[in-house]
Amino acid sequence: MTDQRKGCYILDLVTPPKSASEVVKLPTLESKRFLQDLRSDVIKQICVLVTEDEYVADIRSAQVFAKRERVLSSSSMDDSVLNEKTRIKRYTSQFCEYLKTSPLYKDWVEFRDDLPESVPCELTKDKRTRHEIELNHGSKYCVMNQWPLPRERVTEIDKLFADRLDAGHVKASTSPHSSPTFCVRMAAGGWRIVLAFNKLNAATVSAQTPIPRKDVIIDGMAKSTIFSSMDLMGGFYQILMREREIPYIVVSTPSGMLWEWLVMPQGLSNAPATFNRFVTNLL
C-alpha cells in the first residue's frame, strides 16, 4: 500500500500463505533496520493483516473497552476538541497577550506579581515531599540505548538540558543506568522532549496512592457558581528526588551526554502519585 489511509479494510489476497513454511519464505526486514527506518520516518505506515475472525474479535474487545471508558470518564468534550485548530486556539488562549481582551485583564494586571510567567531558574528547596523509586526484587541495570535523531531535534534536546543545567535541575552523570530522549511535535508548534523511562518504569514497584477521579471532582462541584483552575508551572520540577534514586533517572542525549535529574522529571510511572501527594500536603 502506497497511500496513508487509516482504518480497517477487507482485502482479498490472491495467493495468501497457507502454512508456516510459506510464511517464513516471505521477504523479511531485520529488526535493527526496521527500527532505524521507523525512527527516521522512512516507514510512514504499518499495516497489520488479520483474519476475519480475528478482526471481529478485536472489534468486540474495542467496543467493550470504549463502553467502559465512557462509564469511567466524565469528560463532556466533543470530537471538535480533537481538531488541531481547536487545540491550538485553546492553547494560545492561555497566553498573557490573549488576556488583554478579557474583562478581567485589569484584575490580572493588579495581581500580576502573584502570577509569574515563568518558574524561577533555581533548584527548589526541600518541601518535605521527595520522589522515591523502589525497584522490583532482582532488578539490575535499566539501560536503553539512545538512537540518532535529526539535527533540529538534537538542538532542541540540548537546549532543554542547557536550561535545566542552569537551573540546577540536572548534572552530568556516570551512572550505569541510562534512558534515551526523543521529541514529539506539539499541537501549537515546536517540540516536546520525551524521556523514555520504559525499562525503569517496568522495573519500578507501582505506587498505590489514589489519584482523584474526574467524575468525583465534577460531582463535588454541583451547585457551585464560581469556578477557577490553576496550572502549576513546572510542578514536577518543584519536587526533589530522594538522593539514592538519582542514579536511576539518568538520560542520554543524541549529542553524547549523560544527565541525571536532581528533581522529578516527567515520564516516571509513579510521578503523578508523588505530585498528587505533594499538592495534598500543601493544601
Structural domains of the chain sorted by starting position, each given as residue range(s) with its CATH number in brackets: 20-72 (no CATH), 118-226+233-282 (3.10.10.10)
pLDDT of residue 130: 94
pLDDT digits (tens, 9 = 90+) for 30-68: 777 777 777 777 776 666 666 666 655 655 655 555 555
| pLDDT for residue 80 | 47
- Specify whether the CB–CB gap between 257 and 172 falls below 8 A: yes
- pLDDT, position 97: 63
How far is CA 67 from each of CA 63, 216, 242, rounded to the nearest angstrom?
6, 19, 40
pLDDT value at position 76? 44
What is the rounded distance in angstroms from the CA atom of residue 158 to the CA atom of residue 191? 12
User: What per-residue confidence (pLDDT) applies to 235?
Assistant: 87
List of the chain residues with pLDDT < 70: 1-14, 44-99, 115-120
User: Up-side HSE of residue 23: CA atoms within 13 Å toward CB?
Assistant: 4
Q: How far apart are CA 100 and CA 142, in angstroms?
A: 49
**How many other C-beta atoms can be found within 10 angstroms of the C-beta atom of residue 101?**
8
Q: In this predicted structure, what is the pLDDT of residue 93? A: 60
pLDDT at 58: 58
pLDDT at 260: 97
